[in-house]
């Protein structure tokens, strides 16, 4: 299942400029430029992100379907195939938003990739070197974003967010140079906001480079049925010390009779209906560190915020599927909680 190999990226990526419609109307063009400069800023808000990208995918799908009909009338079949491909990818992005917004991001990014590849080829033919380099940077961003989803490692996450920041600041300078003040300000604010997002990821990467032990654990099961990947306790202690979050405490799982540092694999409640033993008990499973995140959890009385690392391991998902469970616990990434407040 696709669910078993995707990760939930910590940052958002979409080239809204690919949603631009060519027009000769000066007023519509100005409004469109303002909207396309504002949308990336709005997408920083997680509650606005899904409805915004859904709306723009609908807009992209409809506009390219209309363009494909025009190209068919003109018997321009190369452009027809391009517009139909974008329409298909956008339609898939719309349909999959309901299933999982990450699936939607995959297809919208693939649509962006098609745009950027076509732009590189077209600008090469016209000898527009600056535009070629800009679109090559977008292609690299698209590729890194997809890699954070399908592979997942902190090195890729940091490379992706740093390239986002460089791109935002470059386009900010370019807008100011062209006299597009509003667009330049928006790009500068976007780059600054992404720098703030990047700081904990860079801190995690530095910790990973300094941490000398291997990233692996042993599959264990407690008397209540809870199956987990047992980790060295010093890993969580080291993370807690490294991030030094004001007002935060260590997780409560170091108390007597608790699992200690671990990655949850199969919850006790899930095991109640499970028949038979888990054959993977005692197996050593490696994993990759993907990123650091924090959330305000629902249902955890007295807990305001939780900090955790997401990890990637197809073998952890395999333990679940081989025992009749979904690849992930309620669709969430495997993770290591290291602090709460």
CA dist list (Å): 108 to 32, 34, 50, 203, 339: 20, 21, 12, 30, 34
pLDDT tens digit string along 245-280? Answer: 999 999 988 888 788 999 999 999 898 877 788 999
Residues 126 and 75 in one domain: yes
User: Is 24 buried (19+), middle (13-18) or exposed (0-12) by CB count in 10 A?
Assistant: exposed
Domain finish residue from 209, 236, 262: 209
For residues 59 and 16, the answer to whether their CB atoms sit within 8 Å is no
Q: pLDDT value at position 97?
A: 86
Percent of the chain with pLDDT over 90: 73
Q: pLDDT value at position 5?
A: 56
Domain of 53 in residue numbering reads as 2-209
Residues 176 and 274 in one domain: no
In the chain, how many domains are there?
A: 2
Percent of the chain with pLDDT over 70: 98
Domain finish residue from 190, 209, 228: 209
Residues 277 and 159 in one domain: no
Residues 155 and 14 in one domain: yes
Residues 199 and 230 in one domain: no
Q: pLDDT value at position 3?
A: 52
pLDDT tens digit string along 276-330? Answer: 889 999 999 999 999 999 988 887 778 899 999 999 999 999 999 999 898 988 8
Domain finish residue from 166, 185, 209: 209
Residues 245 and 162 in one domain: no
Residues 282 and 253 in one domain: yes
Pairwise pLDDT comparison (186 vs 28), residue with the higher score: 186
Q: pLDDT value at position 4?
A: 52
Q: pLDDT value at position 26?
A: 86
Residues 164 and 260 in one domain: no
Residues 154 and 98 in one domain: yes
């Amino acid at each position: 299942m696709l669910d078993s190999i995707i990760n939930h990226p910590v940052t958002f990526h979409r080239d809204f400029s690919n949603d631009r419609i060519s027009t000769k109307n000066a007023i519509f063009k100005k409004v469109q430029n303002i909207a396309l400069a504002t949308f990336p800023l709005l997408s920083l808000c997680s509650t606005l992100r899904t409805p915004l990208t859904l709306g723009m995918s609908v807009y992209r799908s409809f506009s390219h379907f209309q363009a494909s009909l025009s190209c068919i009338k003109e018997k321009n079949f190369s452009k027809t195939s391009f517009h139909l491909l974008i329409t298909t990818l956008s339609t898939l992005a719309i349909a999959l938003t309901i299933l999982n917004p990450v699936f939607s991001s995959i297809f919208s990014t693939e649509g962006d990739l098609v745009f950027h590849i076509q732009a590189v080829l077209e600008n090469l033919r016209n000898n527009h070197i600056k535009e070629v380099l800009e679109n090559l940077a977008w292609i690299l961003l698209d590729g890194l974003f997809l890699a954070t989803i399908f592979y997942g490692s902190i090195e890729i996450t940091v490379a992706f967010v740093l390239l986002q920041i460089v791109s935002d600041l470059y386009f900010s300078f370019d807008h100011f140079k062209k006299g597009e003040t509003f667009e330049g300000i928006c790009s500068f604010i976007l780059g600054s906001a992404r720098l703030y997002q990047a700081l904990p990821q860079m801190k995690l990467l530095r910790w990973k480079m300094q941490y000398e032990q291997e990233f692996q654990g042993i599959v264990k099961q407690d008397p209540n049925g809870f199956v987990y990947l047992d980790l060295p306790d010093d890993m969580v202690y080291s993370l807690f010390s490294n991030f030094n979050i004001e007002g935060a405490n260590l997780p409560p799982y170091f108390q007597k009779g608790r699992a200690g540092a671990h990655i949850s694999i199969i919850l006790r409640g899930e095991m109640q209906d499970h028949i038979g033993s888990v054959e993977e008990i005692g197996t050593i499973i490696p994993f990759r560190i993907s990123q650091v995140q924090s959330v305000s959890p629902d249902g955890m009385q007295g807990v305001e915020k939780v900090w955790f690392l997401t990890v990637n391991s197809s073998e952890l998902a395999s333990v679940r599927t081989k025992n009749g469970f979904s690849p992930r616990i309620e669709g969430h990434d495997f993770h290591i909680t290291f602090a709460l407040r």
